[in-house]
């Protein structure tokens, strides 16, 4: 996914595995991001996303587009969207679909 986004001309900042919600919010502030993409493979998405959104709100980042991927069951997608996840890209999602979604939904900045 990171390579597809870079190939599409987007700047990608990969922070590595095992980031806490606090670390995710701090990196988003430090890097002044427009989009946060999270891949959850552990099955902990229902526990992590509420904490992530809480940290983002506390950091003043409620306007950042958040997308998810990984092994998230279809039955959990609506719950995540209700929390604020804009889209969930499951296994097999065509990369161009994810790129298109992000281009169409990322917040527009006035300085670009």
Domain of 53, CATH number, reads: 3.40.50.280
Does any domain span residue 9?
A: no
- pLDDT tens-digit readout, 7-21: 999 999 999 999 999
Residue 3: inside a domain, yes or no?
A: no
Question: 1 in a domain, yes or no?
Answer: no
> Which tens digits make up the pLDDT trace of 22-35?
999 999 999 999 99
Residue 62 inside a domain? The answer is yes
Quickly state the pLDDT bin for 110 (edges 50, 70, 90).
low
Domain contains 11: no
Rounded to 5 degrees, φ, ψ at 94 are: -60, 135
Total domain count for the chain? 1
Q: Can you give the pTM of this predicted structure?
A: 0.93
In a domain, 7, yes or no: no
């Amino acid at each position: 996914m990171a390579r597809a986004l870079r190939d599409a001309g987007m700047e990608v900042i990969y922070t590595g595995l095992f980031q806490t919600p606090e670390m995710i919010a701090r990196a988003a502030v430090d890097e002044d991001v427009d989009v946060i993409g999270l891949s959850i493979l552990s099955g902990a998405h229902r526990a992590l996303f509420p904490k992530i959104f809480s940290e983002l709100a506390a950091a003043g980042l409620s306007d950042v587009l958040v997308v998810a991927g990984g092994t998230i069951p279809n039955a959990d997608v609506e719950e995540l969207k209700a929390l604020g996840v804009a889209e969930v890209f499951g296994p097999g999602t065509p990369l161009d679909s994810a790129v298109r979604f992000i281009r169409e939904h990322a917040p527009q900045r006035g300085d670009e």
